[in-house]
Amino acid sequence: MNSKLPDTGTTIFTEMSQLALEHNAINLGQGFPDFMMSKELISLVNTAMLNGHNQYAHMNGMPLLREKLAIKVEKLYSNSINPETQITITPGGTYAIYTALTTILEKDDEVIVFEPAYDSYIPNIIINGAKPVLVQLQYPVYNIPWDEVKEKISNKTKAIIINSPHNPTGAVLNENDIEQLKQIVYNRNIFIVSDEVYEHLIFDDILHLSILRYPELLEKSFVCFSFGKTYNCTGWKIGYCMASPALMKEFRKVHQFNCFSCNSFVQYALAEFLENEDAYLSLGKFIQNKRDYFQKLMQATKFKPVPSHGSYFQCYSYKDFSDENDMGLAIRLTKEYGVTTIPLSSFYQSKKDDKVLRFCFAKKEETLKEAAERLSRFS
């Protein structure tokens, strides 16, 4: 059988997490919290199951949950979203991104992808017969070189993928980025796939510039979110997508024959839990405190922080004290020092190596403290 993804292997997250298990290492590689999620939300799920909400949910998602999400968007982004025609509940944010790309891509289309890039984007494009057109973010602040983007736009360009807050770097979009994006897609048949799964994990009093704030962009966009990141329950794999009615109609044609619907009891619980606005509005400060705590601990090591303004992640440079390639160092840190990270080269197709590792700081304080102590012994 010919492979549809001949150049794609097992994800770096799976590889490094397996290595962490084998060597009993602290896993600061894969992006998941090791602290407890909300007990109230767990209780609401349990209650929903006991109340019999265990059968198929509506294909588009539980109506009440979609209504609550529309209210949330109105409050946060001053945009009126129709819950019936513009929101679909999905089994995770990654699924939403894949479905969006599958909805719009045809053979030989081109998609602008910014690297370093979350690892699902490029396989999603290739499996749909399209071509990723790569643009490297500018190290060390990882901003977008818009002049280069404009040069790479062609009559085959079907979409641009944006991700803010950004995985793996923690960079965030600013107003200039939005203006540049508006200029590029204006009067062009170019769609936007906006990965906003870290919507509420944004720091330093920076405003999240969601595509939902800009009706003219939303008309051409699929905006993808994750409850797992918002409520520290990544294993639940539940998210949602928002789009214009016309785009969502096509999105649902793909969705209905893929997963059809998501687990009902979690949707009932989430619909009720969304009433607790503080649960998501306070998340940025909560996770920022972990970033700041980890930064302070890491001052005892040789690693130098690269600015991160969102997500679960911060990148650290080691170029001042080692020429070792990042994959080799990540493996050695796991095996010899008991701390697992992700080499940033794994987020580039070219394996570009800036001597940078990505650390997940969404962990308990004792986890971060022990990891930093182990890294302080690195020489």
Q: What is the pTM of this model?
A: 0.96
User: Are 93 and 146 in the same domain?
Assistant: yes
Q: Over the stretch 74-89, which tens digit does the pLDDT of each residue have?
A: 999 999 999 999 999 9
User: Are 131 and 19 in the same domain?
Assistant: no
Query: In b/e form, how buried is each residue of 7-46, taking b as 16+ CB within 10 angstroms?
Result: eeeeebbebbbebbeebebbbbbbbbbeeeeeeebeebbe
Q: Is 81 inside a domain boundary?
A: yes
User: Around 217, how many Cα atoms within 13 Å sit in the side-chain half-sphere?
Assistant: 23
> Which residue among 230, 261, 276 closes a domain?
276
User: Are 153 and 222 in the same domain?
Assistant: yes
User: Are 100 and 209 in the same domain?
Assistant: yes
Q: Is 216 inside a domain boundary?
A: yes
- Tell me how many domains the chain contains: 2
Q: Over the stretch 327-351, which tens digit does the pLDDT of each residue have?
A: 999 999 999 999 999 999 999 999 9
Q: Over the stretch 171-220, which tens digit does the pLDDT of each residue have?
A: 999 999 999 999 999 999 999 999 999 999 999 999 999 999 999 999 99
Domain that includes residue 73, residue range: 52-276
Q: Over the stretch 254-282, which tens digit does the pLDDT of each residue have?
A: 999 999 999 999 999 999 999 999 999 99
User: Are 263 and 295 in the same domain?
Assistant: no
Band of residue 94 on the pLDDT scale cut at 50, 70, 90: very high
pLDDT of 379 higher than 80: no
Q: At 306, which CATH number?
A: 3.90.1150.10
Listed in order, strand segments (DSSP E) in the chain are: 26-27, 87-90, 110-115, 131-136, 157-163, 191-195, 221-226, 239-243, 304-305, 313-317, 339-340, 342-343, 356-360
Q: Over the stretch 151-172, which tens digit does the pLDDT of each residue have?
A: 999 999 999 999 999 999 999 9
Averaged pLDDT of the chain: 97
